[in-house]
Structure 1
Amino acid sequence: MKALRENDFIYQAVYRYLTLLIDEAGSSSAARLPSLRQLAERLNVSISTVQYAYSLLEKEGRVYSIAKSGYYAQALPSMQLPGDGTDLLETVYVNARRPGMCVLSNDEPASLQPLDSPLLMLERELLRQYPRQPQLAVQPCGELELRTVLAARYTSSTVNFWHADDVYIGADLRGVLEILISVLQLRRATVVVESPCDWVILRLLEAAEVRVIELPLLAGGVIDPQRLESLLKSEPVRLILLSSALSMPQGSLLPHANRQAIAHLLGCHGTWVLENDCYSELDDEGGDSRHLRDWLDPDRLLVFSTFEKFIGAEAPFGFVLSHHWRSELQRHFLLRAFRLSPIRQKAIARLLAGGRLDQHLCILRRMLKERRTQLIQLLRERLGDALQIIEPQGGATVWARSLRPVDMGNVFHRLLKQQIIIAPGELFSLQGLHAHHLRLSPLTHGDHDLVSVVGLLGDALRLAPDE
Structure 2
Amino acid sequence: MHKFKQLANNIQFLIESESWPAHKKLPSLREQAQSSGYSVMTVLNAYQELEAKGWIYTKQKSGYYVSEAISHVSKTSNKLALNTNIEINSLVFDHLKHLQKEHVIPLGSAFPSASLLCNTYFMKTLSRHAKIPNSALSTDSMPPGYLQLRQVIASRYSLNGISTNPEDLVITSGALDALNLALQALTKPGDFILLQQTIFYGAWQAAERLGLNVITIPEHYQYGFDLEAFENALKNYPIKACWLMLNVHNPIGFTVSNEIKSTIAALLQKYEVYLIEDDVYQELFYEKQKPLSVKYFDKGNYVLHCSSFSKILGAGIRGGWVNSGKFSNVIQHLQLMSTVSASNLMQHALADFMSSHHYEKHLRQLRLKLHQTKTAYYKLLQEILPIACEVYYYATGYFLWIKLPEGMDSSILYQCLLEKNIVIAPSILFQQDHLPSNYIRLNCSFELNDKVRRALQIMVGMIHDLVEGKVV
TM-score norm. by structure 2 comes to 0.74
Query: What is the CA-CA distance between 1:308 and the residue it aligns to?
Result: 0.6
Q: Structure 1 residues 145, 298: closer, same or farther in 2, change over 3 A?
A: farther
For 1:119, the equivalent position in structure 2 comes to: 122
| Equivalent runs, 1:306-317 vs 2, <5 Å | 306-317=308-319
The answer on 1:143 being equivalent to 2:152 is no
Rate the CA distance shift 1:133–1:252 in 2: closer, same or farther, 3 A: closer
- Find the counterpart in structure 2 of residue 257 from structure 1: 259
Letter in 2 for 1:181: L
Which of 98, 101, 120 matches 1:98?
A: 101
Equivalent residue, structure 1, for 2:376: 374
| Aligned residue in 2 for 1:295 | 297
Judged with a 3 Å threshold, the aligned counterparts in structure 2 of structure 1 residues 320 and 200 are, in CA distance, closer, same or farther, namely same
Gaps of 5+ in 1: 1-84
2:403 and 2:438 in contact (8 A); partners too:
yes
Aligned to 2:85: none
State the 1:173 CA deviation: 3.1
Alignment of 1:370-409 (within 5 A): 370-409=372-411
204-213 or 335-344, which moves further after superposition? 335-344
In the other structure, the counterpart of 2:416 is 414
Counterpart of 2:311 in 1: which secondary structure?
coil
Q: Could you tell me whether the CA contact under 8 Å between 1:190 and 1:212 is conserved in 2? A: yes
- The SS at the match of 1:299 is coil
Residue 426 of structure 2 corresponds to: 424
Q: Give the letter aligned to residue 158 of structure 2.
A: T
Instruction: Report the secondary structure of 1:381's partner residue.
Output: helix
Between the aligned partners of 2:89 and 2:310, the Cα distance in structure 1 is 29
Q: Distance in 2 between matches of 1:88 and 1:157?
A: 38
* Equivalent in the alignment of 2:203: 201
Q: Cα offset for 1:332?
A: 2.0
Alignment of 1:68-467 (within 5 A): 87-109=90-112, 111-126=114-129, 132=135, 137-156=140-159, 160-285=162-287, 288-336=290-338, 338=340, 340-433=342-435, 435-444=437-446, 449-464=451-466
Q: Distance in 2 between matches of 1:91 and 1:292?
A: 34
Structure 2 CA distance for aligned equivalents of residues 95 and 144 of structure 1: 38
CA drift of 1:188 comes to: 1.7
Identity %: 20
Distance 1:319 1:285 in 2: 25
Cα deviation per residue 1:204-255 (whole Å; 9 max; x = unaligned)? 1112111111222122452122111111122111111222522221111112
Q: Distance in 2 between matches of 1:144 and 1:130?
A: 20
Q: Deviations over 1:246-304 (max 9, x none)?
A: 22211111123322333333332222111111010002125622222222235111011
Gaps of 5+ in 2: 1-87
CA contact (8 A) 2:197 2:219 kept: yes
Deviation at 1:333, TM superposition (A): 2.4
Are residues 433 and 349 of structure 1, via their aligned partners in 2, closer, same or farther at CA, if it must alter by over 3 Å? Answer: farther
- Whether the aligned pair in 2 keeps the contact of 1:142 and 1:168 (CA below 8 Å) is yes
Residues 371 and 396, structure 2, Cα contact 8 Å, conserved in 1: yes
- Judged with a 3 Å threshold, the aligned counterparts in structure 2 of structure 1 residues 132 and 402 are, in CA distance, closer, same or farther, namely closer
Q: Is the 8 A contact 1:112 1:364 kept in 2?
A: no
Task: State the AA in 2 paired with 1:218.
Answer: H
In 1, the alpha carbon distance for the partners of 2:465 and 2:281 equals: 35
Post-superposition offset of 1:448: 5.5
**Kindly tell me: are residues 214 and 339 of structure 1, through their superposed partners in 2, closer, same or farther at Cα, counting changes over 3 Å?**
same
Is the 1:108–1:396 Cα contact (8 Å) retained in structure 2?
Answer: no
Letter in 1 for 2:210: A
Q: Contact 2:169–2:324 at 8 Å: present in 1 too?
A: yes
Q: Distance in 2 between matches of 1:209 and 1:94?
A: 24
**Local SS of the residue matching 2:260:** helix
**Whole-angstrom distance in 2 between the partners of 1:386 and 1:214:** 28
Report if aligned partners of 2:399, 2:441 keep a CA contact under 8 Å in 1.
Answer: yes
Supply the AA of the counterpart residue of 2:415.
H
Provide the rounded CA distance (Å) in 2 between the counterparts of 1:393 and 1:418.
Answer: 30
CA distance in 1, matches of 2:226, 2:152: 35
Q: Cα 1:297–1:273, aligned 2, differ >3 Å: closer, same or farther?
A: farther
How many correspondences in the alignment?
Answer: 382
Aligned to 2:42: none
Local SS of the residue matching 1:142: coil
Q: Which amino acid in 1 is paired with 2:117?
A: P
User: Per-residue displacement from partner, 1:337-392 (whole Å, max 9, x unpaired)?
Assistant: 53533332122112222232211111111111111111111111011413101112
Give, in whole Å, the separation in 2 of the partners of 1:298 and 1:86: 34
Do 2:169 and 2:328's aligned partners in 1 also have CA atoms closer than 8 Å?
Answer: no
What is the Cα-based RMSD across aligned positions, in Å?
2.7
